[in-house]
Amino acid sequence: MPSFDIASEVDAQVLDNAINTVKKEISNRYDFKGSPVEITLDKKQYQITVEVDSEMKMKQVIDVIISRGMKQGIDASSFDFSKDAYPSGKVIKKDIKVQNGLKQEDAKKIVKMIKDNGYKVQAAIMDDIVRVTAKKIDELQEVITACRNHSFGIPLQFINMKS
């Protein structure tokens, strides 16, 4: 039976390349000369830590992270900016979580949307992916189109298509 997986992943190497590009751009910018700016990436936790000396520079660094990430193919909604910046000595720190994998509640929303639309497919949650199987590939393509048109607030990838 044909099947595919719905996932929400960010490749660690692509993220690392994007952060290295951000570091290079910030170090070359005139408005950051002489300012303490530190950007670190924890690849295991998928977390970016930014340290700057003012709130204005924090906003500029975040804009650069979003734009460079998008140029590398990382969806802007993959970055979680919900945590507020906090002071740490003379600098301001901000932890930015990068979403990797579907959360359980997001997977349930996807399965519910598929079932509510009445597609002739089976959707099953497997850890951090949703596996969708059907008798015909056309039905799977309809589900992919519906998922792309529906706004879940997270970036989705459709992987492991098997016929």
**CA distance linking residue 99 with residue 25, whole number of Å:** 24
> Residue 132: what pLDDT?
93
Structure tokens at 9: 């992943």
**Residues 6+ away with beta carbon under 8 Å from 144:** 4, 158
Q: Which domains does the chain have, with CATH numbers?
A: 3-8+102-162 (3.30.70.860), 12-98 (3.30.70.990)
pLDDT band at 96 (very low <50, low <70, confident <90, very high): very high
pLDDT digits (tens, 9 = 90+) for 104-125: 999 999 999 999 988 899 999 9
pLDDT at 39 over 90: yes
pLDDT digits (tens, 9 = 90+) for 121-149: 999 999 889 999 999 899 999 999 999 99
Say what the pTM is: 0.83
